[in-house]
Amino acid sequence: MNTTNSLFNLIKSLSGSEKRHFSIFASRHIIGKENSYLLLFKLLDKQKEYDEESILRSEKRIKKELIHNLKAYLQELILRSLEQFYSKGSVENEIYRLIHQVEILHQKGLHSMCKKKLLKAKILAYDYGKLKILPVLLQWQLQIIENGPDPDKIETEVASVLDEQKKIQEKIRLINELETLRIRMDYWRLQHQEVRNKKESDRIRKFILNYRHAKEKALPFYAAQSYLRALGIYYMAVKQFKSSQLFFKKNLALFDSNPKIRAEQPNLYMGCLNNLVIAYISDGNFSAAENTLALIKNLAVLIPQVSKSVKIQSRIFRSYYSPLLVIYLQKGDFEKAANQLSGILNGLNKYRPLLNEKFLTAFYYNISHVYFGNKDYKNSLKWITKIFNESSQDFQIELHRSSRIALLMILFEIGNDPLHSYFLKSTQNFIIKKGIYGRAEKLILGSFERIYKANSRKQLKLLFSELKKKLQELKKHPYEKDALTVFNLESWIDSKIED
């Protein structure tokens, strides 16, 4: 990302309190009147889209030949301001601050003070599960022991530290292994979302089998957290939703039994809640899903500091609204879904720089579905095409497949005949290329090819009736039925039969 985009997005990501802190921080570097980089900050903050030419036209104090250096310096200054703003809010920052103090005190030979600072840092590391920092702390502990006032105790104390090092190294090994497992499962879900054949099911099962004897209660916190999350994702992928819910609940209980870590890691805790919501929705337990969504919406009651972070607020927005929309859509309650659009569109406008492609794509798809359900096909088309224009086709493959099939449904309703054959062929090529051309896809695309060519209402009804019958049979296949959930496909087919 170039400096222009990164600087503009950085400024747009700042909360009100972060901006106020920057103004105070930057004022320390100003002598006399307002300088150019603070002026540039204010101008960029006012813009909705980056427009350098507008800035150069309206503000003569900012010279074209200097603006590149101004942007680079301003970005660095904002980052330094944020570093100071969050210096007291991060446990890791506090531990590293203490390590720096230990280094200074050690250089001055103040070993008694060193030990006190080091002990404080170790307590923080253990209390908050920051075990990966402990090797640094233990190395300092060895240096302090070697320079201690009582040589007779050196051998015993060194042996104790070396034993502690050995135990910590084993715990770090477990954390690294299980974090790798969790990352592999997260990456698989980002690509696929669902299992479509036994080969894929066996492949992700192998990820889990290597750790089937792990006992989460005996694991360090972050190892247990990664392990439980990976298991929850696995069981959701293979459609064992009750088991998935069990492991996501265990993950929540792990955080609830460690309130210090929960307060320090609200994003991870929210991720646990969000995964549980998805598992409930997949199981059709909408009441439990909505109850869990209420916890996400009111997270500031449990963890007050989340209200101060615009990043966490953006996560609350997408973790609450995206599943809520899915619940209403799956219920077929398009009126309630439409009532949420105002809040969603405002949130997308407010938090867009902080939302990655995965979440934007999901929002676009579901918003298009809302409009489709309310027979507003023009807006439905607008939002579905945003997926093709703004997102990569290498991830969320099933969502892209569903989006393309949804587009065929929208075009049928609009009656845009010249585009039918083009998009039908394009969809088929995409699905074949991505290796997801299953029985469901073959049936749906083959049926649309005949439906587009139908020249009478009677023929259309017969074709839709035939498609419905075949879909009923296909629903019995465990690896095919998920492909039939596009835009409430079955309900839509019923409406075409009844017309």
Question: What is the pTM assigned to this prediction?
Answer: 0.79
Q: Is the pLDDT of residue 226 over 80?
A: yes
Model confidence at 146, pLDDT cuts 50, 70, 90, reads confident
Instruction: Tell me what pLDDT residue 34 has.
Output: 54
Q: Is the pLDDT of residue 31 over 90?
A: no
Model confidence at 135, pLDDT cuts 50, 70, 90, reads very high
* Domain annotation for the chain: domains and CATH numbers: 3-85 (no CATH), 356-499 (1.25.40)
Q: Is the pLDDT of residue 318 over 50?
A: yes
Most confident of 5-19, 294-308, 362-376, 426-440: 362-376
Q: Is the pLDDT of residue 434 over 80?
A: yes
Most confident of 20-29, 140-149, 276-285: 276-285
Model confidence at 195, pLDDT cuts 50, 70, 90, reads low
Q: Is the pLDDT of residue 330 over 60?
A: yes
Query: Mean pLDDT, the chain, as a whole number?
Result: 88
Instruction: Tell me what pLDDT residue 33 has.
Output: 45
Model confidence at 52, pLDDT cuts 50, 70, 90, reads confident
Q: Is the pLDDT of residue 217 over 80?
A: no
Model confidence at 13, pLDDT cuts 50, 70, 90, reads confident
Q: Is the pLDDT of residue 1 over 60?
A: no
Q: Is the pLDDT of residue 433 over 80?
A: yes
Token code pair at residue 190 = 């980002």
Tens digits of residue pLDDT in 86-99: 776 689 989 999 99
Q: 317-326, 363-372, 446-455: which has the minimum mean pLDDT?
A: 446-455
Q: 34-38, 45-49, 106-110, 367-371: which has the minimum mean pLDDT?
A: 34-38
pLDDT greater at residue 448 or residue 207: 448
pLDDT greater at residue 495 or residue 3: 495
Tens digits of residue pLDDT in 102-119: 999 999 989 889 999 999
Q: Is the pLDDT of residue 480 over 70?
A: no
Q: 216-220, 271-275, 364-368: which has the minimum mean pLDDT?
A: 216-220
pLDDT greater at residue 119 or residue 390: 119
Tens digits of residue pLDDT in 261-276: 999 999 999 999 999 9
Percentage of residues in the chain with pLDDT exceeding 70? 93
Give the mean model confidence (pLDDT) for residues 225-243.
Answer: 91
pLDDT greater at residue 406 or residue 61: 406
